[in-house]
Amino acid sequence: MRKDLRMGPRTPLFLYALILPVVLTFVIVGVFGSLFAPSPRLGIVDEGNSTIVAAAGSLDGIEVTTLSSEDTLRRMVEDNDLDAGLVLPDGFDDDVRRGDRPTLEFFIGGESLASNRIILQVTTLDLVRGVTGEEAPVTVDVVTIGDVEAVPMATRMVPLLIMYAVAIAGAFVPAASIVEEKEKRIINGVLVTPTTVTDYLAGKAGLGIVLGMATGIITLALNNAFGGHPFALVLVLLVAAVMMAEIGLILGIFAKDSNMLFALMKSAGILLFYPVVFYIWPSLPQWIAKLAPTYWFLQPIFEVGVKDASLGDVWVELVIALVWIAVLVPAVRAMSRQLEQKVAVDA
Amino acid sequence: MTLPSPRPRVSRSTIVSAIVRKDFQAFYRDRFYLWVSVIGLVAYVAIFWLLPSTVDESITIGATGAGIEQLLEQAASAAGAESEGLNVVAFDSRENLITAVEEGDLDVALGLAFPDDFFAAVAAGQPTTVTVIATSGVPDELRTAMDSFVREVAFAIGGNPLPVDYQEEILGVDRLGDQVSLREKLRPMLAFLVLLIEMLSLAGIVAAEMQTRTVTAVITTPARVSDFLAAKIIFGTLLAFGQTVILLVAIRSLSNQPVLLLTTMLLGALMVTAFALIAGAFGRDFITVIFWSMLFMIPMLIPAFGLLFPGSASLWIRAIPSYGLVETITGTTAYGEGWAEALPNLGLVAAWTVVAYIVGLGILRRKVQTL
């Protein structure tokens, strides 16, 4: 294991396992964080000293950009860098207060969505009303309904990111390492020393566990999903990494070469990865997700990391994950014996 | 005594085509690359047709209260809100409205519960209360806008006009009701992904020929290193271009400017082939080939991802070799652009392709000569 950890960073796959969570987080958070919930973007050119600029800046959910010239504003709106924009001429506030009804030029981007246009129009007019100091004879009372807190799409993608992180680092790296050492017959050299197959596989599993936990922690940190119980989360990640390392050993011993390993990862990968779909679309029947072993560590990670649950809240899932780990042990032992026989035949 | 007859001269084109044939045989023999190509192609076509072809850009709000539908339409008009983007669904009771909002029935994003005496109270200047009913998933900007909207309704009913002369100007082509769908936006990415997958295939074949010294065997025949390199370029380009054409046909992309689009894809195939030669020259085995290919693939996908976001691309994105390619595909398929608009972008792709070949062929030639 020390050799793998020392030599590992020189191999591309090791780097790939470490870089992938960062790249995926960037892509998924970028795409799902803003693509499916794009905030309306408003540009303002203030030629005087209007109070509207400060009021607009404090609006929730609207991106406000102040610009220095009307030409820049027009160009940005036309290029769809802004949804809409307005120019506040010098003395605009005073004119509004005096009741002179100054002209308010409101530029709308041709490619902006109708919903964004409405939101920006209505909000802007309300800001202008605010300058007059007039109070509408109505109180607006906002009531939030539903006992289930809505989880944003970017957060629902966290299980997918975690799954990638622990699967690549925890399972694929040790599996690829075993396959490579079988292909280059390094394993034959190792096993003529006092090292046993069990020692050899324990080293590979250790590598997977350390890497899987490291990439899992990096992914959770990048996604701000550490929750309020970091110790509990590390414990759950340990369970996840152990399970993935076991799967990595089985695949690594079973695969004859790199191509077969990739083919196995793709086919077995579906069985390991499919529970993440049930987080993205929570309305799907959840019992299907529970058939996969990975669900039993993904659910505690999601509960602890995203929903601030404690270890006490997820102990049932963790126990089931440990049962799965125990179930996989005989399979690892059987594969270990198979590897031992193969090495003996080769020798 | 008769002299042995001289061996027939073999033309360069015959040698190159023989190597290309061998490469195609190697490609079809390697089930991994073959399956990756076939599965990828089928998956991309399926993804394309499963994606939404329209953009729902409207907001649907539910409302209760006496005569509320007519009232809201008048108020929306007074507030300047465009009717195209705002759908109002009337409910006969507050309970039904709450149920609809909670369960997302009729796509109702949020509800406005007006008291039955709202019109009379506001007209008389008496204070009243309107309840905005929303789930926690409703974005902040929509809550803020509805808050503003209700106040504007009250101002309008109270005969209090806007304190400004509101003038609106649409800049650029108005795509209201005709927005570019996610399906259209993903078209260049899918076409480019096919090219990139083929880059992986070619890089794998080049790396394998380096490691097994096949290339050394090839150049002990009348074939030269230049024949080997030319064959690789032709093979890679044909492989990538052929599959992209299949994809473009399957996703019905050749209806507008087919010649321009095919030229673009041919240029794209040439470009990814150059990068594949670099990845193949550096790759020692399967894993390293994937790693080196990913090093090129991930940055080159960024311009295609950039299209999913509104706005113009940053300068650094424009500097990525694939930018011109992606822009041309989008311009042609989504905006109906022609050669005049595409030429600057195609020039950029051609320039990058030349640079990539100078680097790729240089590295590969040196690698072959040192074997």
ipTM score assigned to the predicted complex: 0.74
Domains (range + CATH), chain B: 12-52+180-370 (no CATH), 59-157 (3.40.1710.10)
Q: For position B355, what pLDDT does the model report?
A: 93
Distance from CA of B253 to the nearest CA of A (A): 22
Residue B78 — pLDDT band, cuts 50, 70, 90?
Answer: low
CB A119 within 8 A of CB B145: yes
- For chain A, say whether B369 makes contact (Cβ under 8 Å): no
Question: Is domain A38-132 annotated with CATH 1.10.150.530?
Answer: no
User: Hey, which of A226-235, B138-147, B279-288, B324-333 has the most confident mean pLDDT?
Assistant: B324-333
Best CA proximity match to B215, nearest among B19, B2, B7 = B19
Residue A8 — pLDDT band, cuts 50, 70, 90?
Answer: low
Best CA proximity match to A323, nearest among A293, A295, A299 = A293
Q: Collapsing DSSP states into helix, strand and coil, what is residue B158?
A: coil
What is the pLDDT of chain B when averaged over all its residues?
82
Residue A71 — pLDDT band, cuts 50, 70, 90?
Answer: very high
Average pLDDT over residues A135-145: 82
Best CA proximity match to B87, nearest among B73, B101, B68, B100 = B73
CB B63 within 8 A of CB B88: yes
Reading the block at residue B179, the tokens are 């927005």
- Calculate the CA B161 to chain-centre distance: 45
pLDDT at A147 over 60: no
Among B58, B290, B298, select the one facing A114 at the smallest CB separation. B58
Give the tens place of pLDDT for each residue, A178-234. 888 887 788 777 777 777 888 888 888 988 898 888 888 888 887 777 777 888 888
Residue A325 — pLDDT band, cuts 50, 70, 90?
Answer: very high
| Sequence-ordered list of residues with C-beta below 8 angstroms from that of A242, at least 6 positions apart, any chain | A205, A209, A325
**Over pLDDT 70: what percentage of chain B?**
90
Give the tens place of pLDDT for each residue, A106-130. 999 988 888 888 889 889 988 998 8
Task: Classify residue B318 by burial, with Cβ atoms within 10 Å: 0-12, 13-18, 19+.
Answer: middle
Provide the 8-state DSSP code for A167. Answer: I
Q: Collapsing DSSP states into helix, strand and coil, what is residue A193?
A: coil
Instruction: Find the closest chain B residue to A106 by CA distance.
Output: B168
Where does CATH 3.40.1710.10 sit in chain A?
38-132
Q: With a CB-CB cutoff of 8 Å, which residues 57-116 of chain A face chain B? A: 59-62, 74, 77-81, 83, 96, 99, 101-116
pLDDT at B81 over 90: no
Give the C-alpha separation, B355 to B353, whole Å: 5
| Residue-by-residue DSSP string for A250-261 | HHHHH-SSHHHH
Distance from CA of A324 to the nearest CA of B (A): 30
pLDDT at B92 over 90: no
Q: For position A330, what pLDDT does the model report?
A: 93
Give the tens place of pLDDT for each residue, B194-242. 887 778 778 877 887 887 788 778 777 887 888 888 888 998 899 889 9
Q: For position A86, what pLDDT does the model report?
A: 93
Q: With a CB-CB cutoff of 8 Å, which residues 176-235 of chain B face chain A? A: 176-177, 179-180
The larger pLDDT score, comparing residue B29 to residue B46, is at B46
Residue B157 — pLDDT band, cuts 50, 70, 90?
Answer: confident
pTM greater than 0.80 (yes/no): no
